[in-house]
Structure 1
Amino acid sequence: MSKKIKQIAIYGKGGIGKSTTTSNISAALSTMGYKVMQFGCDPKSDSTNTLRGGQYIPTVLDTLRERNKVKASEVVFEGFNGIYCVEAGGPAPGVGCAGRGIITAVELMKQQKVFEELDLDIIIYDVLGDVVCGGFAVPIREGIAQHVFTVSSADFMAVYAANNLFKGIKKYSNAGGALLGGVIANSINALYSKEIIDDFVKLTNTQVVEYVPRSVTVTQSELQGKTTIEAAPKSAQAEVYRSLANKIYNHTESKVPTPLETQELREWASKWADHLLALESGEVRGVAAGV
């Protein structure tokens, strides 16, 4: 009997650091001795770049456009420390659903029993989370992923995207969809950023898995085409990523979040805006917004 492969999905607004975080989790897990596959599900097809020295790899959809039949070995590539890298890809610009690549790529892997043959311990799906459309919701809707995490900063649009994801998880939860493991709080340096995220997760009945600070070490590493785990393994930032990776791998219990309605979210954001203005003017000192 084949072993149970842990499958998780990491969502997040474009530009929030989702792929950076995912790649560092993958790299950290590989150094812990686990067999890892990172499955890029963004049409930009750059999820796995820092696992392969900054190089792009052929995507599943691009390869299928060139010929009707594709072997998994033509779209699965090894990266840092033996991590298997796959990019689902997307349709030609202006044509079709951007989520189709996920559906097609997952089916290809299943048909050719790739996950079992590679003897994987964990598969991490890196998924665009700006809009949870039918295609991008596949890892949740189809129960492909067992646990879902979202990367969010304290910026309103990142929180807005996370809240939309929560709505998608709640919608599919009664039909066997994946549940939420928690929020990966990214770019958390200022105290108020932590307070905002803490307040949001409290209101939506979830949790923060890890606070990841913004660090120049990440920028330096990515300019080399590498993860922080590879380029600066002894750095404080690498230690944060190792802690996060360990929590992700050992996570067992996820749940249905309680998303805010749009008006509730806007009112919540407005209270925090007033609080930050008062904080800047010196009227208050690091006290939560009281929402």
Structure 2
Amino acid sequence: MKLPFDNLMSFHSVVTHGSFSNGARKLGKSQSTVSGAVRSLENELGYELIDRSEPGVKLTSRGNKVYQLATPIISRYIELKYIAESLGKTERGKVRVGIDPLVFNHDVKHVLFDFSEKFPETELTILTKPSHILGQYLHHHKIDIAIGNPYHKTDFGFNVDELFLVNCHWVAHKDLLRTPLSINTRVLLLDGCEDTIDLSNIAQHNIWILDDSRTVLDMCMAQKGIAFLPQHLLDQPTCTDVLSPIVGETFLFGKQIYASLMWPQHADFNQQHQWIHDKLRKR
């Protein structure tokens, strides 16, 4: 009996993604090709894997067993494929780094400056996204490493090495603090902060979540609300002149975030990754 791996991949993709069309799209193949591959696998095995008398993708008892056995094999194959591709990218000098804006401080920027001098031929892609998005990107191999908060809510696993602490504070324009805060006070949050603060404490407020730290800062300075921001954004001279920490509000207390390096499980550092890691640890 032959068991062509491409046919097994097609079957697994159909079941994982819930339909023949979704499975085919994920594999970059036509629906008819994937459907034929599944039928060929069934013919080779001598029994049906999918109960076609039922709507959707419903497995037979044998199909369910084959799917369970195939899952770890295909997962390891995808992992091997990713690592093999990464080795090729390393040789060509390509590094993809994700950075959470909450931890994207001056030290991180200077490491990138130094990186351009140390590896002038390397192509560097930087993505600034919240840590929960970076975790997804790592899992799906869209980035090689990430610098962010590893303790966000996630179902994905990855390697973690803590680097440095980032202090975050609740702040407001000094003029806004001349009167007590009320439930009408708008709250300005950077996307991803919900993994750091307890939103239930501020649920009664009008909450705005934005994906750009500069916009959050500008709106706070324009007295459009109070904001939860990292210290490195507040160190700018224009900020220190007009913004002040919020004190006296028991539910608005600061937080410390452990900025950490994250990378996929079962993946090794290359030379560039290790260099970024070492430079950030020294700083």
TM-score by length of 2: 0.22
TM-score by length of 1: 0.22
More strand as a share of residues: 2
Decide which structure has the larger Cα Rg and report it. 2
